[in-house]
Amino acid sequence: MTLADLNTLLTARHSCRAFRPDPVPRGDIEQILTSAARVPSWCNAQPWQVVVTSGAETDAFRSALRAEAETGQAQPDLPFPTGYSGIYQDRRRACGWALYEAVGVEKGDRAGSARQMMENFNLFGAPHCAILSSPAELGPYGAMDCGGFVTAFTLAAQALGIATIPQAAVAAYGPFLHRYFNIPDDRLILCAISFGYPDTDHPANRFRTERATLDEFVSWRGASAE
Ligand SMILES: Cc1cc2nc3c(=O)[nH]c(=O)nc-3n(C[C@H](O)[C@H](O)[C@H](O)COP(=O)(O)O)c2cc1C
């Protein structure tokens, strides 16, 4: 295994926003979860718990979630960001516009952007959804450990040709999710990961996001070996 192999995987992965309905074999889902659980966690607590939906369960969840999003109040367990300013706002806008441009939503088309946003609650048509939670008592570090789990999940899936999208939008409906999946209140629901085989022809999957260069996020102190 070389860094080039890893980079191939890292650059091939992207957030998928249109899936084919075909189910993923249970064995592949188990492999993805087993690989994801190899990530480090503070004290090796492995704080993640995952509910995985398939088949009719995904469709029932999708319908209930859509209804909740249309009528319910957003109330995430983990506070959403209070703002995106400066470069973070720029990057947020850039990825939003790239998506809207890909799907043909023009600037100012509020109905169009709302329709695309609602696709979150359709799980982008994915046949499976994983709901991730962490013990509340582990606080932000539990969530941090679970962030590693999310990344490894997406990469392991990519290695099997399975597309993913982490979704904070789903976690917005915390009380509903606790009730629906019987997740105890001493756990924080962090995000969902919808997954399945990608609809590669769909316009929503035709754009890719960019990354900052090292000079934008690294501050070197001292000399390293040449
Ligand atoms: C924790 C987390 C939550 C996210 N929530 C959403 C979401 O609710 N809806 C969505 O369309 N994308 C969501 N994304 C996907 C990001 O927008 C995406 O990762 C980012 O734009 C970079 O693009 P890429 O994943 O294609 O490389 C989320 C990603 C992460 C890591």
Domain of residue 133, CATH code: 3.40.109.10
pLDDT at residue 41, rounded to an integer:
98
- Residue-wise DSSP of 62-91: HHHHHHHHHHSPPB-SSPPPS---HHHHHH
Q: What is the 166 CA–ligand 1 centroid distance (Å)?
A: 6
Contact between 90 and 209 (Cβ < 8 Å): no
Q: Does the CB atom of residue 120 touch ligand 1 within 6 A?
A: yes
Q: Does the residue 139 lie in any domain?
A: yes
Q: What is the 14 CA–ligand 1 centroid distance (Å)?
A: 9
Residues in the chain: 226
Q: Does the residue 110 lie in any domain?
A: no
Beta bridge partners of 152: none
Q: Does the CB atom of residue 168 touch ligand 1 within 6 A?
A: yes
Q: Does the residue 43 lie in any domain?
A: yes
pLDDT at residue 65, rounded to an integer:
98
Q: Does the residue 181 lie in any domain?
A: yes
With a cut of 70, which residues of the chain have pLDDT below it?
Answer: none
In angstroms, the CA 222 to CA 207 distance is: 39
Q: Does the residue 1 lie in any domain?
A: no
For 180-213, write each residue's pLDDT tens digit.
999 999 999 999 999 999 999 999 999 999 999 9
Q: How many domains are contained in the chain? A: 1
The pair of structure tokens assigned to 176 is 């509903």
Q: Does the residue 202 lie in any domain?
A: yes
Tokens 């090796």 correspond to 44
Tokens 């983990």 correspond to 78
Q: Does the residue 213 lie in any domain?
A: no
Query: 38 lies in which domain range?
Result: 14-81+123-206
